[in-house]
């Protein structure tokens, strides 16, 4: 080996053990700091949402994520809906902001020109569009079906179904669909199906009905949970004030035990159907119908409305009373009587008072 090569070899070996200068460490540190800054800057500063809205008369950009979607599937759905992202970018960003397993399905309204980071955080929060529909205690099935059929945010799968077809669709077997849907406010995502509302409401009613039935007394004249549902619907329609609910229930339970006809106007009105004009006439009380409880003893064939939890419990736990009659006082409450003579006196008193009040009005 020549002197020159020997010298160069020694210099090279020494160079392997040369410590980096202070300036070199600063360069490495700057690189390590810059990379995350560049990554998060790209995630939170670069817009991925279009600048123009896709909602009629709106200023937001609407997107939808389907249930049970993974990161790759969500990325594909967003890309198809106009968001500037792809599977790799989306997955890296989601993991970088620690929301990879927190993204929730639903319909979202995004700010135009929002960044990928901002929409990821919004989806992780579940800050999505929600719709509601309210089933009111005492609502009839035709009122409920009309309400659901007209709701603009639902996909209408049951609109032309018969009662039998609706029951088959939600997996129930009853004489009819009246009374089977629990009164409550149901929250749902836009473009959910009306079938899901019926299914949720029917499951809620079955739960409440089972819970109430399990509390029944052995002396009850009711034979099945469906009997409970029927009588609770009558109590719901006959109760003007909640404080009277258990007493109204006691009257009907007493009548069933005494084999007396229930003689309740709401069942007759239900038998007339949606064409009822609000005026119950004597001729209506004389028309034979399965729902005419003046002509037929026992319960009508189906419920006549959607009963509340309170009405279900009132029927199972009626007040301790011997009353078999009641009449409305005109202020929302009722007067309860044990004998026909007392009842006729109360009817005369309160009807005379109402007639006098009506005559004094212009």
Q: Kindly give the confidence (pLDDT) of every residue in the chain, 362 residues in length, as a single tens digit, with 9 standing for 90 and above.
A: 544 445 445 544 444 444 555 556 666 666 667 777 888 889 999 999 999 999 888 899 999 999 899 999 999 999 999 999 999 999 999 999 999 999 999 999 999 999 999 999 999 999 999 999 999 999 999 999 999 999 999 999 999 999 999 999 999 999 999 999 999 999 999 989 999 999 999 999 999 999 999 999 888 999 999 999 999 999 999 998 899 999 999 999 999 999 999 999 999 999 999 999 989 999 999 999 999 999 999 999 999 999 999 999 999 999 999 999 998 888 888 999 999 999 999 888 887 665 554 433 33
Q: How far apart are CA 49 and CA 286, in angstroms?
A: 68
**In DSSP terms, which residues pair with 188 in a beta bridge?**
131
Asked whether 231 and 223 are in contact (CB, 8 A), the reply is no
Q: Which of 140, 303, 274, 296 is nearest to 209 (CA)?
A: 303
Q: How far apart are CA 142 and CA 153, in angstroms?
A: 20
Which pLDDT score, from 0 to 100, does residue 362 have? 30
Q: How far apart are CA 304 and CA 291, in angstroms?
A: 9
Two structure tokens written together for 145: 């079906």
Rounded-to-10 torsion of CA 124, 82, 114, 43: 70
Which pLDDT score, from 0 to 100, does residue 186 have? 98
Asked whether 91 and 112 are in contact (CB, 8 A), the reply is no
Instruction: Read off the pTM.
Output: 0.81
Q: How far apart are CA 25 and CA 46, in angstroms?
A: 31
Q: How far apart are CA 236 and CA 229, in angstroms?
A: 10
Two structure tokens written together for 95: 């993991």
What are phi and psi for residue 29, nearest 5 degrees?
Answer: -60, -40
Q: Which stretches within the chain are classed as H helix?
A: 3-15, 22-45, 71-80, 87-96, 116-125, 141-149, 163-169, 194-213, 225-238, 245-257, 265-272, 282-285, 309-316, 340-360
């Amino acid at each position: 080996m020549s002197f020159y090569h020997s010298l160069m070899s020694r210099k090279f070996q020494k160079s392997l053990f040369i410590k980096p200068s202070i300036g070199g460490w600063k360069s490495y540190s700057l690189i390590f700091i810059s990379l995350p800054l560049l990554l998060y800057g790209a995630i939170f500063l670069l817009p991925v949402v279009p600048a123009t809205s896709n909602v009629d008369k709106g200023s937001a950009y609407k997107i939808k994520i389907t249930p049970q979607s993974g990161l790759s599937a969500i990325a594909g759905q967003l890309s198809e809906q106009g968001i500037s992202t792809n599977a790799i970018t989306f997955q890296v960003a989601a993991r970088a902001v620690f929301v990879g397993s927190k993204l929730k399905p639903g319909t979202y309204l995004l700010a135009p020109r929002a960044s990928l980071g901002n929409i990821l955080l919004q989806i992780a929060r579940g800050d999505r569009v929600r719709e509601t529909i309210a089933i009111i205690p005492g609502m009839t099935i035709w009122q409920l079906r009309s309400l659901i059929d007209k709701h603009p945010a639902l996909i209408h799968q049951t609109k032309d179904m018969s009662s039998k077809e609706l029951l088959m669709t939600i997996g129930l077997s009853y004489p009819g669909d009246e009374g089977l849907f629990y009164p409550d406010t149901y929250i749902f995502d836009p473009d959910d199906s009306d079938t899901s509302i019926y299914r949720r409401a029917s499951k809620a009613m079955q739960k409440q009905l089972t819970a109430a039935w399990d509390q029944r007394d052995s002396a009850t004249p009711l034979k099945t949970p469906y009997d409970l549902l029927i009588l609770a619907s009558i109590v719901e329609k006959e109760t003007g004030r909640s404080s009277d609910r258990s007493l109204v229930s006691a009257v009907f339970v007493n009548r069933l035990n005494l084999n007396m006809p229930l003689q309740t106007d709401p069942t007759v009105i239900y038998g007339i159907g949606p064409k009822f004009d609000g005026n119950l006439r004597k001729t209506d009380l004389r028309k034979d119908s399965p729902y005419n409880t003046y002509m037929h003893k026992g319960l009508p064939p189906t419920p006549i409305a959607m009963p509340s939890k309170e009405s279900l419990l009132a029927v199972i736990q009626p007040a301790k009373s011997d009353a078999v009659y009641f009449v409305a006082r005109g202020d929302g409450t009722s007067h309860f009587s044990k004998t026909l003579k007392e009842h006729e006196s109360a009817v005369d008193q309160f009807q005379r008072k109402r007639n006098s009040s009506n005559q004094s009005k212009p």
